[in-house]
Amino acid sequence: MSVPRIAVDALTTVYGEGARRVEAVKAVSFSVEPGTAFGLVGESGSGKSTVLRALCGLAPVSGGRVLFDGEALSGRRSRAFTRQVQMVFQDPYGSLHPRHTIDRILSEPLSIHGLSDRDRRIEAALADVGLDPAFRFRLPHQLSGGQRQRVAIARVLILEPSVLLLDEPTSALDASIQAEILNLLARLRREHGLTYLFVSHDLAVIDHMCDRLLVMRAGEAVEELDAEALATRQVESAYTQALMKASEGFVRPAAV
Ligand SMILES: Nc1ncnc2c1ncn2[C@@H]1O[C@H](COP(=O)(O)OP(=O)(O)O)[C@@H](O)[C@H]1O
Ligand SMILES: [Mg+2]
């Protein structure tokens, strides 16, 4: 067995104190092998985003550990980590500065990480996400929601990461655009050998994207499954069955 790219080992995250205390994640464990796609699925408030935030150092690790390539992460993340592990968010409107051109938006991570070869990298990143080079000098409001999410993906890919943490990256998009972006993400993963930790409240999306998944509920891990168990409906918990029922007709049927 290789060293997992990402490991979450009995992670507990507590926000606030006293009457405001919230145990958002309760002793959750899973690991993500290099080059695979792992899904976290559960309804809103189940603690999915908190797990991603704890990995990035944006939420407290109150108990347990989070590891990258076998090394426990603590304190401020290193420059190497922040380049290797990139986060993609739900909202393609809020995540792009409204008055910055796409050129400037894509240049920013390059300057932060001191990378040269700016023109070549920007052109390659746009091509990677299927955007015409002419988009470079447009502003976010001149783009559709799907095109903006492509820019947001280009902005993280431009650093040549090995891991993407994707937090509901298509939930704000129309259904047809959602499928386009999911297919783009699947292609990028293949082409770049990326590892994905993919969060969604939608089991159909996770089923489409992931090799393995963990069902979460109220901060707890309910059940871990692989794609085959999902396809053949071999699930144990009543909660997972209810999630499956809710996405009935979308979850891939078992191969015959
Ligand atoms: N910064 C915060 N401070 C206090 N509570 C929070 C904070 N962020 C999230 N929570 C709470 O933690 C729980 C899990 O939230 P979250 O991880 O965002 O769930 P999900 O992404 O599955 O919707 C929720 O009860 C939420 O209200
Ligand atoms: Mg969330």
CB 243 within 8 Å of CB 48: no
Residue type, 70: G
Site to substitute for ligand 1 among 8, 23, 28, 50, most atoms within 8 A of C-beta: 50
- Domain assignment present for residue 1? The answer is no
Written as six digits, the tokens of 176 are 């047809």
Residue 145 within a domain: yes
Task: Express each pLDDT in 44-68 by its tens digit.
Answer: 999 999 999 999 999 999 999 999 9
List the residue whose alpha carbon is closest to atom 24 of ligand 1.
45
> What CATH number is associated with residue 191?
3.40.50.300
Structure tokens at 146: 């799907």
**Choice among 132-136, 208-212, 236-240, 246-250 with the minimum mean pLDDT:** 246-250
**105 touches ligand 1 (CB under 6 Å):** no
On average, the pLDDT of the chain sits at: 93
Which residue range forms the structural domain that includes residue 106? 6-246
Q: What value does the mean pLDDT take over residues 90-104?
A: 87
Within-domain flag for 254: no
* Residues 131-151: b if buried by 16+ CB within 10 A, e if exposed: beeebbebebeebebbbbbbb
Measured distance CA(209)–CA(211) in Å, rounded: 7
| 154 within domain boundaries | yes
Cα 138–chain centre separation = 26
Four-residue CA torsion sign, 43, 48, 50, 53: negative
Q: Would residue 160 count as lying in a domain?
A: yes
Q: What pLDDT does residue 84 have?
A: 96
d(CA 236, CA 230): 10
The reply to whether 11 falls in a domain is: yes
- For the chain, what is the domain count? 1
How many angstroms separate the CA atoms of 223 and 31, rounded? 14
Does the residue 23 lie in any domain?
Answer: yes
Has residue 157 been placed in a domain? yes
The answer, as to whether pTM is greater than 0.85, is yes
